[in-house]
């Protein structure tokens, strides 16, 4: 008997790192649901990736409980269940704290952190039944900061903590891990209307001990391992994938 097709839900899967993850999962044999807010990006990516396997765009605001519940129900209806939840959706609000409104702060919290809680909550029954896994995308901003990134950094730190809390609560049936990407060039992974290759300099690459800026494929490769049977003893962990940048001491 042929092995049953596995199903992955990728939030924010319409562009950027999420699109790279969706493509890799399709190549790995998963059916993929793109739980994406941007309708243009979602439809475009569904069309672009269709030749690789079963892929379905479901418009979803991960900070809206009703939309999350509906997206998971639709996934169950179309695919029969969920084996993997990739909580990738996120927004960056970059403003001086004196200019950052409470509404902007709350929107970042809703998308970057509350969205993980909601998606995990509604996917958990299916994941538990199918002994699946959750993979959260945080950021090296959970560990280090630039100016004016309070909302983003706080939410990404929360993602790392929520990862180990979920791992303890949902195990052993569901494994939960986290990847913290560093500088990833997603310029060619945006929707067509915003796609423009970034002009990276020698200095951009050389400040990474690995010798280059990262690509979505780097994050997708780590994810592919973490959701595989070979990683069955790994849960509650955060993996920094940043070309060594957070380990490099900088003196001016």
- Of residues 110 and 189, the one with the higher pLDDT is 110
Residue 101 has pLDDT above 50, yes or no: yes
| Residue 4 structure tokens | 């049953």
Active site (annotated) includes residue 152: yes
84 DSSP β-pair partners: 8, 133
Give domain status of residue 1, yes or no: no
Confidence class of residue 240 from pLDDT cuts 50, 70 and 90?
Answer: very high
Give domain status of residue 145, yes or no: yes
Structural domain count, the chain: 1
The domain in which residue 205 lies consists of 7-247
Which DSSP string do the residues of 54-70 spell out, in sequence order? -EEEEE--TT-HHHHHH
Give domain status of residue 140, yes or no: yes
Give domain status of residue 216, yes or no: yes
Condensed to tens digits (0 to 9), the pLDDT of residues 184-235 reads: 999 998 888 888 888 899 999 999 999 999 999 999 999 999 999 999 999 9
Give domain status of residue 80, yes or no: yes
Indicate which residue of 30, 37, 57, 152 is catalytic: 152
pTM of the model: 0.95
Give domain status of residue 61, yes or no: yes
Confidence class of residue 2 from pLDDT cuts 50, 70 and 90?
Answer: very low
Least confident of 41-45, 151-155, 204-208, 225-229: 204-208
Confidence class of residue 3 from pLDDT cuts 50, 70 and 90?
Answer: low
Mapped onto helix, strand or coil, the DSSP state of residue 59 is strand
Q: Please tell me the number of Cα atoms within 13 Å of 207 on its side-chain side.
A: 12
Angle between helices 16-27 and 39-49 (to 10 degrees): 30
CATH number at residue 41: 3.40.50.720
Task: Determine the Cα–Cα distance for residues 123 and 8; give it in Å rounded to an integer.
Answer: 11
Give domain status of residue 68, yes or no: yes
Give domain status of residue 252, yes or no: no
């Amino acid at each position: 008997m042929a092995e049953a097709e596995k199903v992955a839900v990728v939030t924010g899967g319409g562009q950027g790192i999420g699109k790279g993850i969706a493509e890799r999962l399709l190549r790995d044999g998963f059916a993929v649901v793109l739980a994406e807010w941007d309708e243009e990006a979602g439809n475009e990516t569904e069309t672009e990736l269709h030749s690789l396997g079963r892929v379905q765009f479901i418009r979803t605001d991960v900070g809206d409980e009703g939309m999350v519940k509906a997206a998971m129900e639709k996934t169950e209806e179309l695919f029969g269940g969920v084996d993997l939840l990739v909580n990738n959706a996120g927004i960056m609000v970059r403003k001086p704290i004196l200019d950052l409104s409470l509404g902007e702060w709350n929107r970042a919290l809703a998308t970057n952190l509350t969205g993980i809680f909601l998606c995990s909550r509604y996917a958990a029954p299916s994941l538990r039944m199918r002994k699946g896994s959750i993979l959260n995308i945080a950021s090296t901003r959970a560990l280090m900061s630039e100016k004016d990134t309070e909302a983003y950094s706080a939410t990404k730190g929360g993602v790392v903590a929520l990862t180990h809390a979920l791992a303890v609560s949902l195990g052993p049936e569901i494994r939960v891990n986290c990847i913290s990407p560093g500088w990833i060039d997603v310029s060619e992974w945006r929707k067509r209307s915003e796609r423009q290759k970034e002009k990276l300099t020698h200095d951009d690459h050389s400040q990474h001990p690995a010798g280059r800026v990262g690509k979505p494929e780097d994050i997708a490769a780590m994810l592919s391992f973490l959701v595989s049977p070979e990683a069955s003893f790994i849960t509650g962990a955060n993996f920094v994938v940043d070309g060594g940048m957070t380990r490099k001491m900088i003196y001016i």
